[in-house]
Amino acid sequence: MWPRSSINERTMHNTDFDLKLDRLTKVEGSASLDIRVKNGQVEYAHFQITEYKRFFTQAMQRKPIIALPQLLSRICGTCSNAHIMASIEACEHALDIKPSEQTKILRDLTMYGLNIRDHALHLYLFALPDVRGKDAFLDFDENDPVEHQMLHDAFEIKAAGNFFSELIAGRSVHAPYPVIGGFMHFPDQKGITEAIKKFEAVRPAVLRTIEIYKNQPFHFDRKTNFMALVPYDHYGFIEGCINTGLGECITEEGYRDHLERVVLPYSQASGYKYRGGAYMVGALARMNLAKNLLHARTKDASGGALDIFPSTDIYMSNLAQAIEILHCLDHSLEILKTRKFNPEPIIKKPFREAVGIGVVEAPRGTLYHKVVVGADGMVKEGEIIVPTGQNQINIENDVAALVEKMLPDTSQEKMQFEIEKLIRAYDPCMSCAAHFLKVKWLEP
């Protein structure tokens, strides 16, 4: 059951009240939400990321650069492979290493495996209960034909993503195969054949997932800006330029020219703006800015779902994730059916004093890594900017608009649920909880 508020239910009339949503659990760090309504208007909505300072930027100092990707993968147990890719790219730029074409393809495939399993986790275990009016995924009825199919689709899609991640990168999290300068291991034909079989078998399940979220019953529109790393030739998650949605495309090295760091005194994480305004990163931003680059087979199969984009409906982020799963399958299948992978040596270069920047699209949005290395190969300092921090101000703005929309006659319990559901649509690392809001209602 959803947690009950600490005072009796009442409707929200033109009055003053504070809404404290405390300890959003199972997040990267910890988060809560504090809202104040005065005279029937939202005075502020503070999205507070707490326990954020986990000191990885300090821990990386005086570490050998070759150990950095694996160290920084421990930032997250969900999308650790995205941190590995961003860190490797930053280190290679610092060392002037240009990866081989085969390495680039294997890195694309690593990110595809990550997105298949990660998006499936969010869409089925955390978002789908809302769609089906369930408290949790475990409440689905195995004897109901529709929910029976959903249960099996969820496990099969995620299992396919896990298998593929293990084949290409060695593990689905904290992958050992990708390293600075190349890969330590290469997929064999037996594994490739099995991956093709699994992907073809699970593709109908992904198409059903797209239909679910194409027709989802929730909608929330608010005009905002979108930002994503947009590739030059195919829909991907590693290379490209930073598209601001305003006709600009900024090089990865110039990311500090557009990210405006904002100190939020109530949060341990910095917020970010662009040109003084909030923006959103993630699957919705990517689909809005780059849907024309999707695989041809994905475009054909997605049908009317693609016509929805560009969209300012936050819940369409779920649909964008479902379409991304299909693209990852389709492009991977094309690569696996047309390429052979041969062992090749790791590219190495002498250490030098330099700065390197790595930018990738993690499942939840644009991820930035910066490394400053000395001539001895030891890291001097670095910077990491994660998607949740970039979305922080936009989440606050969305929540404030949602609360004002629900005033004056929405119950406390309903308001709590709708706020949680909206935040969950961002899939912002805290979506690993089926329920993550504990509400304390304070009388003015």
Question: Residue 199 is part of a domain; what is its CATH number?
Answer: 1.10.645.10
HSE-CB at 428 with a 13 A cutoff on CA atoms is 31
Confirm whether 89 is domain-assigned: yes
Q: In angstroms, rounded to a whole number, what is the distance separating the alpha carbons of residues 190 and 192?
A: 5
- Determine contact, residues 441/5, Cβ cutoff 8 Å: yes
Q: What are phi and psi of 228, to 5 degrees?
A: -160, 155
Contacts of 433 (CB under 8 A, 6+ apart): 24, 25, 26, 27, 126
> Cα–chain-centroid distance for residue 237?
11
If we measure between CA atoms, which residue out of 215, 214, 117, 219 comes closest to residue 171?
A: 117
Confirm whether 173 is domain-assigned: yes
pLDDT digits (tens, 9 = 90+) for 127-148: 999 999 888 888 899 999 999 9
Q: How many CB atoms lie within 10 A of CB 155?
A: 13
Confirm whether 27 is domain-assigned: no
Q: How many CB atoms lie within 10 A of CB 42?
A: 19
Confirm whether 108 is domain-assigned: yes
Confirm whether 248 is domain-assigned: yes
Q: What is the pLDDT of residue 440?
A: 47
Q: What is the pLDDT of residue 59?
A: 82
Whether the per-residue pLDDT at 189 is higher than 50: the answer is yes
Q: Name the domain count of the chain.
A: 1
How many residues would you count in the chain?
444
SS3 content of the chain, % helix, strand, coil (to 5): 45, 20, 35
Strand partners, 243: 228, 249
Task: Verify cis geometry, omega within 30 degrees of 0, for the bond prior to 310.
Answer: yes
DSSP 122: I
Q: In angstroms, rounded to a whole number, what is the distance separating the alpha carbons of residues 192 and 19?
A: 52
pLDDT digits (tens, 9 = 90+) for 247-294: 888 888 888 878 888 877 767 667 899 988 999 999 999 999 999 999
Hey, what amino acid is at 175? A
Q: What is the pLDDT of residue 28?
A: 42
Q: To 10 degrees, the CA torsion angle through 396, 401, 405, 406?
A: 10
Range of the structural domain that residue 90 is part of? 79-389
Name the pTM for this structure: 0.90
